[in-house]
Chains A and B, each alone.
Chain A
Amino acid sequence: MRLVELRLRNFRQHRQASFQFAPGFNAVVGPNEAGKSALRDALRVALFGNPATTSDRLAEGLRPWGGDGAPVVELVFDVPQGRFELVKDFGAGRVWLRGQGRTWDRPREVQQALGRALGFQSEKAFLATAHVRQAELDRIDERDVAVHLGRIVAGADEDASRALQALHRALQELERGLVRPASNPGRLVRVQQRVQELQDRAEELRRALVAARDVAREAADLRRELEEVEADLADRTELLELNRRIQQVRDQADRLRREVGVRQELLQQVDRLQDQVRRARAELEGLPEGDEERLARVRESEGRAHELEARAQELETLQVLPPAPPPPRWWLWAAAAVSAAAAALLVDATFLRVALAVMAAALALLAWNRWHRFVQEGKARSEAEARAAERARLADQLRTQAQELHRQAQEELRAAGLPSAEALHARAARRREVEGELRSAQQRLQDLLGGKDASAIEEEMRTAAADLHAHLQFLESDLVRTKALLPLEVQRLESEVERLLRRREELRGDLHRLEGQLEAAPDAGELARVEEELESLQEELERLRRRQKALRAAIQVLEEAKAAVEVPARQAVEERAGRFLDRLSGGRYTRVRVPPDADTLRVEVWSEDAGRWLPPEEPHLSRGTVDLVFLAARVALVDVLAAGVRPPLLLDDPFVTFDPQRRRRALDWLRELSQERQVFLFTWDEAVAGLADAVVHLPPPGRTVPP
Chain B
Amino acid sequence: MIRILHVADVHLGARFSGLGSRGADQREQLRRTFARCVDLAVERKCQVVLVAGDLFDNPNPPRDLAWFASDQLRRLVQAGLRVFVVAGNHDSAPDGVWTRPDFRSRLEGVVVFGDRPEAVRVEDALCVVGRSATPGRNPLEGWPPREACPTVGVAHGPVYRPDKVEDPAAVRPDQIRSLKLDYLALGDWHSAQQVEPPPYLSWYAGAPEFLSLGQPGFGHVLLVTVEAPGRVSVVPVRVARRRYHREVLSVEGADEQTLRGRLEGLADPDLVLELVVQGLREPDHVLPLQNLVQEYADRFFRLVLRDQTHPKLDEEALRRFEPTTVLGQFVRRMQDRLRTCPPEDRPHLEEALQLGVAALQGRGVVG
Chain A residues packing against B (C-beta within 8 Å): 108, 111-112, 115, 120-122, 124-125, 153-158, 160, 163-164, 166-167, 169-170, 213, 216-217, 220, 223-224, 227, 518, 523-525, 527-529, 531-533, 535-536, 546-547, 549-554, 557-558, 560-562, 564-566, 568, 640-643
Contact = CB atoms under 8 A, between A and B. Distances in A.
Contact of A528 (B24, B100, B102, B329): B24
Contact of A155 (B61, B327, B347): B327
A121 B320 contact: yes
A550 B325 contact: no
B322 A120 contact: yes
Contacts of A121: 319-322
A639 B322 CA distance: 13
A157 B360 contact: yes
13 contacts: A115-B319, A156-B361, A157-B360, A160-B360, A170-B355, A528-B15, A532-B23, A533-B21, A536-B21, A549-B348, A551-B355, A566-B326, A642-B324
B356 A532 contact: no
A562 B356 contact: no
Contacts, number: 173
A154 B360 contact: yes
Contacts of A554: 352-353, 355-356, 359
A552 B355 CA distance: 10
Contact of B322 (A125, A518, A524, A536): A125
Contact of A641 (B62, B325, B333): B325
Contact of A532 (B19, B326, B349, B354): B19
B20 interface: yes
A546 B326 contact: no
Interface centre among A111, A155, A227 (most CB of B within 10 A): A155
B163 interface: no
A695 to B, nearest CB: 32
A115 B17 CA distance: 51
A551 B322 contact: no
A167 B356 CA distance: 8
Given A223-B101, A529-B23, A565-B325, A157 B362 contact: yes
Contacts of A155: 321-322, 324-328
Scoring B15, B100, B354, B361 by chain A CB atoms within 10 A of each residue's CB, the highest score goes to B15
Nearest to A565: B326
Interface string B59-79: 011111100000000000000
Contacts of A561: 326-327, 329-330, 333
A528 B13 contact: yes
B20 A536 contact: yes
Given A156-B327, A220-B101, A562-B326, A528 B359 contact: no
A612 to B, nearest CB: 30
Nearest to A158: B362
B333 to A, nearest CB: 5
B274 interface: no
Contacts of B16: 528, 532
Nearest to B365: A170
Given A153-B325, A167-B356, A558-B356, A525 B101 contact: no
Contacts of A108: 316
Given A167-B359, A529-B23, A551 B352 contact: yes
A565 B62 contact: no
Contacts of B352: 549-554, 557
Contact of B102 (A213, A223, A568): A223
Interface string B15-51: 1111111011001000000000000000000000000
Nearest to A167: B359
Q: Chain A binding site: helix, strand, loop or mixed by DSSP?
A: helix
5 closest residue pairs by CB, A with B: A155-B325, A157-B362, A561-B329, A550-B351, A163-B359
B170 interface: no
Interface of B: 13-21, 23-24, 27, 60-65, 95, 100-102, 316, 319-330, 333-334, 337, 347-349, 351-356, 359-365, 367
Given A121-B319, A524-B61, A551-B352, A156 B362 contact: yes
A532 B18 CA distance: 8
A678 B327 CA distance: 27
Nearest to B318: A121
Contacts of A213: 60
Given A158-B360, A220-B100, A640-B324, 18 more contacts: A124-B320, A155-B328, A156-B325, A157-B360, A160-B360, A166-B359, A169-B365, A217-B95, A220-B102, A524-B13, A529-B24, A532-B17, A532-B23, A535-B17, A536-B20, A549-B352, A557-B333, A562-B329
B181 to A, nearest CB: 36
A533 B322 contact: no
A452 B367 CA distance: 117
User: Which of A108, A220, A227, A565 has the most chain B CB within a 10 Å cutoff?
Assistant: A565
Nearest to A524: B62
A549 B337 CA distance: 14
Contact of A525 (B17, B24, B328, B360): B24
Contacts of B101: 220, 223-224, 227
B63 A156 contact: no
A535 B20 contact: yes
Contacts of A547: 348, 351, 367
A576 to B, nearest CB: 15
Contacts of B334: 553, 557
A568 to B, nearest CB: 8
Given A533-B21, A551-B355, A565-B325, A122 B320 contact: yes
Task: Give the residue among A153, A163, A568, A640 with the most B Cβ atoms within 10 A.
Answer: A163
A535 B101 CA distance: 35
A566 B330 CA distance: 12
Contacts of A170: 355, 365
Contacts of B347: 546
B123 to A, nearest CB: 32
B50 to A, nearest CB: 27
B360 A163 contact: yes
A346 B254 CA distance: 196
A568 B323 CA distance: 13
A153 B326 contact: yes
Contact of A156 (B326, B333, B355): B326
B27 A525 contact: yes
A527 B62 CA distance: 11
Contacts of B19: 532
B252 to A, nearest CB: 12
Contacts of A528: 13-16, 23-24, 27
A523 B68 CA distance: 14
A153 B322 CA distance: 10
A199 B362 CA distance: 40
B51 to A, nearest CB: 21
B354 to A, nearest CB: 8
